[in-house]
């Protein structure tokens, strides 16, 4: 909902906001016209704006508030730790209990062979770390020519210079370009967008083989690693056909290319297992995490290092010349420990897998008959609804119409956060969402699809 123009508190915050706050990923001309939606508080799966309008948060903040808002256990963990030891670092042979306990805990839940954790403050920093770890690894094993990385178009790996280069987001590349020059992109396994007239499994194999083609083009002796999100999130919840990952895995093994699974969104339960890679049959060498590890309550990211790289770093690594002031921040680690406690104690991941994700899948599938919907899909608790001009052919609306953004605004105004990636509407609710709230999500989504269709009929 848009805050009322005549509400002094809201307009005051909006005016102060546009005067002083440079927002991430925001067009400031548009922001100046409309004013920001200012969120004041939140509880459970709902956020509340300054006027007290209640909005069901179908995006878990930004794919992170997996346990929902208002968790006193997470707040208490942070408060206790801030009183006891608000800060100390782990540089130069020091450490503190929360960082150690969390690394041990992550190693216990991570896939077999992942025993070593590096901390960063965010997913972007974690992926920058991956680049350095991979290069260090190949140097140490005497193959310094392996320096190139392969990623995918429309991937999201963060927004620092290196992580933004790893990602395949067109606008980021256009604004900064030329980006880091040892990163190369291949096309993504986006079946609806790029190959919906093809058999999905054949399409998946063909997209995986683009990785092989790129390795051969660069020369396998030059290629250090391939990075991918098990399921692309920011790119529009792109679920690869089942054939895709096993083939990518086979290709990486064949050419001795390390595999990095960026699990910033898929890690810590979103796909119904602790990590997405076990669900999709990926056996990576490095795993990126962030977001859900603290349920978004405090910033924390990192890399879980598989045994191949870990063994070399432990025995031959010398000093790893890399680290951040907030690597392993005590309060963030304490909140992460409390998050993992809650996920286990409340059986959130099991319940998500057995009860909530099936209800979510049914709810999204129930929108597939809508006249402007070309496809719905979901995996675990992330899903997408593709908006189309022609249901039969899958033809898209003209880009300039901004139909996705229109739909997103109808949703916000009607009490639902659903994000637009172009004309793909995406949802990823907190893992603790209830079946009744999933019904509410679906009802609101359908109503807003109706509003969008009516708007299109008038404006297209
Ligand atoms: N990897 C993945 C897979 C991500 O989704 C990052 C890395 C970077 O994390 P940090 O903590 O540096 O932001 C992300 C972040 C969106 C959106 O529009 C998604 C993210 C961030 C901002 C916006 O969906 N994901």
Residue 154 has pLDDT above 50, yes or no: yes
Site to substitute for ligand 1 among 233, 303, 326, 336, most atoms within 8 A of C-beta: 233
Amino acid 8: pLDDT: 62
Give per-residue pLDDT as tens, 205-247. 999 999 999 999 999 999 999 999 999 999 999 999 999 999 9
157 C-alpha vs ligand 1 centroid, how far in Å?
A: 6
Bridge partners, 232 (sequence order):
238
| pLDDT tens digits, 41-85 | 999 999 999 989 999 999 999 999 999 999 999 999 999 999 999
341 falls in which pLDDT band (50, 70, 90)?
very high
What is the three-state SS of the chain? CCCCCCCHHHHHHHHHHHHHCCCCCCCHHHHHHHCCCCEEEEEECEEEECCCCEEEECCHHHHCCCCCECCHHHHHHHHHHHHHCCCCCCCCCCCCHHHHHHHHHHHHHCCCCEEEEEEECCHHHHHHHHHHHHHHHHHHCCCCCCCEEEEECCCCCCCCHHHHHHCCCHHHHHHHCCCCCCEEEECCCCHHHHHCCCCHHHHHHHHHHHHHHHHHHHCHHHEEEEEECCCECCCCCECCCCCHHHHHHHHHHHCCCEEEEECCCCCCCCCCCCCHHHHHCCCCCEEEECHHHHCCCCCCEEEEEEHHHHHHHHHHCCCCCCCCCCCCCHHHHHHHHHHHHHHHHCCHHHHHHHHHHHHHHHHHHCCCCCCCEEEEEEECCEEEEEECCECCCCECCCHHHCHHHHHHHHHHHCCEECEEECCEEEECCCCCCCHHHHHHHHHHHHHHHHHHHHHHHHHC
Ligand 1 pocket: which residues have CB below 6 Å?
Answer: 62, 122-124, 127, 156-158, 229, 233-234, 262, 264-265, 290, 301
pLDDT surpasses 90 at 318: no
Mean pLDDT in the chain? 96
Q: State the pLDDT at residue 10.
A: 77
Surface-to-core class of residue 16, CB atoms within 10 Å of its CB (0-12 exposed, 13-18 middle, 19+ buried) = exposed
Stretch 275-286: mean pLDDT: 97
Taking the centre of ligand 1 as the mean of its atom positions, its distance from the CA of residue 19, in whole angstroms, is 26
Q: For residue 7, what pLDDT is reported? A: 57
Q: What pLDDT is attached to residue 1?
A: 43
Q: Is the pLDDT of residue 418 over 60?
A: yes
Nearest ligand 1 atom to the CA of 123 is 9
User: Measured in angstroms, how far is the CA atom of residue 367 from the centroid of ligand 1?
Assistant: 27
**Is 70 exceeded by the pLDDT of residue 5?**
no
CA of residue 68 to ligand 1 center, whole Å: 18
Residue with the nearest Cα to atom 18 of ligand 1?
234
| Segment 348-367, tens digit of pLDDT | 999 999 999 999 999 999 99
According to the model, what pLDDT value does residue 430 have? 98
Cα 270 to averaged position of ligand 1 atoms, centre (Å): 14
pLDDT of residue 152 exceeding 80: yes
Q: Cα–Cα distance between 33 and 235 in angstroms, integer?
A: 27
> Which residue's CA is the closest to the ligand 1 atom numbered 10?
123
| 393 pLDDT above the threshold of 90 | yes
Q: Rounded to the nearest whole angstrom, what is the distance from the C-alpha of residue 75 to the centroid of ligand 1?
A: 24
Q: Which domains does the chain have, with CATH numbers?
A: 37-70+347-459 (3.90.1150.10), 73-345 (3.40.640.10)
Residue 176, pLDDT > 90, answer no
- Asked if the model's pLDDT at residue 96 lies above 60, the reply is yes
What whole-number distance in Å separates Cα of residue 117 and Cα of residue 103?
6
Using most ligand atoms within 8 A of CB, pick from 123, 163, 235 the residue to mutate for ligand 1. 123
Question: What's the mean pLDDT in 398-419?
Answer: 97
Residue 86 contacts residue 93 (beta carbons within 8 Å): no
- How far is Cα 444 from Cα 42, in angstroms, rounded to an integer? 19
Q: What is the mean pLDDT of residues 143-162?
A: 98
What is the pLDDT confidence band of residue 3, given thresholds at 50, 70 and 90? very low
Residue with CA nearest ligand 1 atom 24: 234
Best residue among 25, 26, 63 to mutate for probing ligand 1, ranked by most atoms within 8 Å of CB: 63
Which of these, 249, 210, 204, 228, lies nearest to 149 by C-alpha position? 228
Ligand 1 centroid to Cα of residue 32, in Å, is 25
| pLDDT exceeds 90 at position 9 | no
Q: Do 156 and 229 touch, CB atoms closer than 8 A?
A: yes
What separation in Å is there between the alpha carbon of 206 and the centre of ligand 1? 27
* Rounded mean pLDDT, 331-360: 98
Which residue, by CA, sits nearest to atom 16 of ligand 1?
A: 234
Distances (CA, A) of 178 to 161, 182, 304, 340, 376: 10, 11, 30, 40, 36
Structure tokens at 159: 């927004």
Ligand 1 centroid to 1 CA: how many Å?
25
Closest ligand 1 atom to residue 59 Cα is 24
Residue indicated by tokens 């997913």: 123
Q: Which of 357, 385, 355, 360 is nearest to 373 (CA)?
A: 385
| Sign, Cα dihedral of 303, 304, 308, 312 | positive
pLDDT of residue 43: 98
Q: How far is the CA of 42 from the centre of ligand 1 (A)?
A: 21
Average pLDDT, stretch 365-372? 98
As a whole number of angstroms, the distance between CA 21 and CA 28 comes to 10
pLDDT at 373 over 60: yes
pLDDT of 36 above 50: yes
Structural contact between residues 4 and 13, judged by C-beta atoms closer than 8 angstroms: no
Question: Cα torsion at 21, 24, 28, 32 (round to 10°)?
Answer: -50
pLDDT in tens, 111-128: 999 999 999 999 999 999
């Amino acid at each position: 909902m848009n805050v009322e123009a005549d509400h002094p508190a809201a307009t005051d915050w909006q005016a102060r906001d546009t005067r002083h706050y440079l927002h991430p990923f925001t067009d400031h001309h548009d922001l100046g016209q409309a004013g920001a939606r200012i969120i004041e508080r939140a509880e459970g799966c709902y956020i509340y704006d300054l006027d007290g309008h209640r909005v069901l948060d179908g995006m878990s903040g930004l794919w992170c508030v997996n346990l929902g808002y208002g968790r006193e256990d997470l707040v208490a963990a942070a408060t206790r730790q801030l009183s006891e030891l608000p800060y100390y670092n782990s540089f130069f042979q020091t450490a503190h209990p929360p960082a150690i306990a969390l690394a041990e805990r992550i190693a216990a839940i991570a896939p077999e062979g992942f025993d070593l954790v590096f901390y960063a403050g965010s997913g972007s920093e974690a992926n920058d770390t991956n680049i350095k770890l991979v290069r260090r690894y190949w140097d140490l094993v005497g193959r310094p020519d392996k320096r190139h990385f392969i990623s995918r178009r429309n991937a999201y790996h963060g927004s620092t210079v290196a992580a933004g280069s790893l990602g395949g987001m067109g606008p980021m590349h256009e604004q900064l370009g030329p980006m880091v020059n040892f990163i190369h992109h291949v096309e993504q396994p986006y079946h609806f967008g790029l190959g919906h007239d093809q058999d999905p499994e054949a399409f998946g194999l063909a997209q995986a083989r683009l990785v092989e083609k790129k390795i051969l083009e660069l020369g396998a002796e030059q290629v250090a690693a391939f990075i991918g999100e098990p399921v692309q999130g920011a790119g529009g919840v792109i679920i690869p056909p089942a054939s895709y990952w096993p083939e990518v895995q086979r290709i990486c093994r064949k050419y001795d290319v390390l595999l990095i699974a960026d699990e910033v969104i898929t890690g810590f339960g979103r796909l119904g297992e602790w990590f997405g890679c076990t669900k999709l049959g990926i056996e990576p060498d490095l795993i990126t995490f962030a977001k859900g590890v603290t349920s978004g309550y405090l910033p924390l990211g990192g890399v879980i290092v598989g045994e191949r790289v870990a063994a070399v770093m432990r025995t031959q690594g010398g000093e790893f010349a890399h680290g951040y002031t907030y690597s392993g921040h005590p309060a963030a680690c304490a909140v992460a420990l409390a998050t993992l406690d809650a996920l286990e104690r409340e059986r959130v991941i099991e319940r998500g897998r057995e009860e909530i994700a099936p209800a979510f899948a049914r709810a999204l599938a129930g929108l597939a008959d809508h006249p402007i919907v070309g496809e719905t899909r979901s995996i675990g608790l992330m899903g997408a609804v593709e908006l189309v001009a022609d249901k039969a052919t899958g033809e898209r609306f003209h880009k300039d119409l901004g139909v996705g953004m229109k739909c997103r605004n109808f949703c916000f105004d009607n009490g639902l956060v659903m994000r637009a990636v172009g004309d793909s509407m995406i949802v990823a609710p907190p893992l603790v969402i209830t079946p009744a709230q999933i019904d509410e999500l679906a009802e609101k989504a359908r109503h807003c699809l109706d509003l969008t269709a009516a708007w299109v009929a008038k404006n297209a």
